[in-house]
Structure 1
């Protein structure tokens, strides 16, 4: 399994996921840069994602929804804040309403993705930062730790 660690740290208000893949940095970058590839792993296997808007550039807007088994759509948004292909990207993220607009832009989190070459392998580190311990715990209670672990473990199939 690609995920080698998943850590919730209340002191730093972060969740950190580290995964390693048998692929080059450039190939792993594509699972972020290509919305059709992103759809195949963003979310646990039983909760597929559909990206309706995907502006992969600093300041770009991303809108998506995840379809839960009962058919309900959970919507989310990203604002891309930094992109340094093929090794680094950052984005603010949160929940969206039925019009794909942020429910509460002030209640957002921040994601930082770093890709590091390890010879023929790539280490991907995703750090999600939160504004408060309450926000961190709310996301943990919603299953973010397990959901992200399940999601990232689908990336190997895309790289095969």
Structure 2
């Protein structure tokens, strides 16, 4: 994880974050000065950022929103106070409403990010200055420290070429905490087609089958918030296993980038998971990221022990061979 240290100093009204990256200063600077790259890591998992305005000049402003899995929003603005590329920049960081106006009860803070070379790459030091101890404690109580650690842990993927970062690694499972699991898989193909493969019945039936010997017996796709989805599978012939299925509700859709759904076993009251699908394309390859929120650690471990990751890998391999590759050849 890039973040190596976070300290708060109530006497000097500061919070300091230190992070180390295995990339040169110029590459790290580009990630912090390009809103499209910032969107990939500025928000913690489950709360991706969208920058709606970006004037990267002294006196210019940037506006962004973090969107939670149920559509919750938290917005902010930066006023650029100084820019010394590629070494540092300083902003006045404010909480704002949907119209960009400062929120009452939230004092702005002055934040300076500095980038210096190290033997291994780059050290980033972020120092935030607050108007009062109350303002510092308010931000800490909001979970900014842990959120920042989780957000910046995503930066390694941004700093590398996408294929260098993920190609050939198959389906990767990361335990983020007791209730959150992040699953990633790189597939060769454009994001638009991967999105269609998740949202069109004809395509989904070609690939989302899990291990060999299973068939999809029911496929009800939902594409708008509030709609219900339902999918079932059954073993074919002598394949061992019992039929099963999932159902749930669509909570959020940001096509072709993100979809959030609830999911539970059919015919039960739970346990229910929250599945946050994100798609990112770079140079013709798409990184599929699924952030799953479980109700507790026991449910997380129980579901992972079913061989879920192996089944997903079989499906993703089929997605590449049966859907993406034929489309590329045609």
- TM-score interval, smaller chain: over 0.9
Q: Say if 1:156 and 1:111 are closer, same or farther in 2 by CA, change over 3 A.
A: same
- Give the paired residue count: 160
Q: Distance in 2 between matches of 1:96 and 1:40?
A: 21
Q: Secondary structure at the match of 1:101?
A: coil
Q: How much does 1:45 deviate?
A: 1.2
Q: Distance in 1 between matches of 2:137 and 2:106?
A: 17
1:58 aligns with 2:46: no
Structure-2 residue corresponding to 1:45: 45
Specify every segment of 5 or more residues in structure 2 that has no aligned partner in the other structure, as ranges.
161-330
1:72 aligns with 2:76: no
With the length of structure 2 as denominator, give the TM-score of the two structures: 0.47
Q: Secondary structure at the match of 2:97?
A: coil
With the length of structure 1 as denominator, give the TM-score of the two structures: 0.95
Structure-1 residue corresponding to 2:154: 154
Q: Distance in 2 between matches of 1:120 and 1:4?
A: 14
Q: Secondary structure at the match of 1:31?
A: helix
Bigger Rg, which one? 2
Q: How much does 1:29 deviate?
A: 0.1
- Could you report, residue by residue, the CA deviation over 1:8-56 in whole angstroms, capped at 9, with x for unpaired residues? 1111111111000110000000111100000000011111000000111
1:19 aligns with 2:7: no
Structure-2 residue corresponding to 1:95: 95
Specify every segment of 5 or more residues in structure 1 that has no aligned partner in the other structure, as ranges.
none
Work out whether residues 13 and 129 of structure 2, in 8 Å CA contact, stay in contact via their aligned partners in 1.
Answer: yes
Larger RCO: Structure 1 or Structure 2 (Cα < 8 Å, ≥ 6 residues apart)?
Answer: 1
Q: Secondary structure at the match of 2:44?
A: coil
Q: Distance in 2 between matches of 1:28 and 1:21?
A: 8
Q: Secondary structure at the match of 1:138?
A: helix
Q: Distance in 2 between matches of 1:147 and 1:32?
A: 17
